[in-house]
Amino acid sequence: MGQKKDLTGSEKSKIVRYLAEGCSSLKIAKLLKRDHRTIKRFIQNSQQGRKKRVEKPRRKITAHELRKVKRAAAKMPLATSLAIFQSCNITGVPKSTRCAILRDMAKVRKAERRPPLNKTHKLKRQDWAKKYLKTDFSKVLWTDEMRVSLDGPDGWARGWIGKGQRAPVQLRCQQGGGGVLVWAGIIKDELVGPFRVEDGVKLNSQSYCQFLEDTFFKQWYRKKSASFKKNMIFMQDNAPSHASKYSTAWLARKGIKEEKLMTWPPCSPDLNPIENLWSIIKCEIYKEGKQYTSLNSVWEAVVAAARNVDGEQIKTLTGSMDGRLLSVLAKKGGYIGR
């Protein structure tokens, strides 16, 4: 007789009826043509019934200790519950109890990746939005760098953040650490690049300009018509290697100066549509927890993911700028959703 995984509802009903009639488990197994062990297991489980969960008493924490925990949680955002309690010299508290206590005064949150905006930042963002409100954004080349690592994007840090408190800003090193640094641009419905920064090269003003010369200018910009170059506006953020006097003067010698070089407000990654492109690429290369064993393999994944981004997706991103500017003005310079 074949052994099946689970008893059906009708089989269970028959077993109960046969038991009431005084049949043995062996006879029931023969009547139902099921394995004897399956029938016995069902009968034993039915007789035992469902065990009730016993709530263990929570270790009592004094009011003084609670105040110490609250102060420690405020001083140590993103710390684990164990680290918080150990800093207060409170021992012998199980993890479930620590988390239950912390839930009454805090909640687990991720670190904020966007820098906080002060009054000056907000005013400059509003001024920028007003300046470019009538710009034809189909002529703007939006550029940026992205670093990809072997084991997935950073930014998963979580910790106990007190109620009413802001999550701390997670500081990220743009130039250091492992991984591959990638530069790209988008304009209208076209993707420029991506181009890989040579491993081990730190982008200062000189190396940044040399990189643009070897990739962007030689491989893309020089192939464009004179009318295209005349109307194109080059956008880059305020990274030190971008905004230095050296880089600005170098771009000016290339004809990218004054109105052809877009001014950029501080702390404004939410206004750059290429940030959304990076999100699309990262979601693709790291989907299902994908990890990589070499820098070349992760770079190949970036190139493949970029090729899968079609012109309509890019056009949607670049075409969102009018709405972003209006949102900045509506929020008085505050962050907008991306």
Phi, psi of 233 (to 5 degrees): -110, 130
**pTM of the shown model:** 0.65
**Taking the domains of the chain in order of start, what are their residue ranges?**
9-45, 63-105, 119-155+177-331
| Pick from 13, 54, 11: nearest CA to 34 | 11
Average pLDDT over residues 262-289: 93
CATH of 119-155+177-331 given 1.10.287.3510, 3.30.420.10, 3.40.50.150, 3.30.1330.60? 3.30.420.10
Say how far apart CA 91 and CA 114 lie, in whole Å: 36
pLDDT tens digit string along 42-59? 888 876 655 556 666 666
Average pLDDT over residues 111-126: 86
Residue 176 reports pLDDT greater than 80 = no
**For position 171, what pLDDT does the model report?**
42
Outline where DSSP puts E strands in 188-310.
190-196, 233-235
Residue 167 reports pLDDT greater than 60 = yes
Mean per-residue pLDDT of the chain? 87
**Helix, strand or coil for residue 9?**
helix
More confident residue, 314 or 113: 314
Residue 75 reports pLDDT greater than 90 = no
Residue 291 reports pLDDT greater than 60 = yes
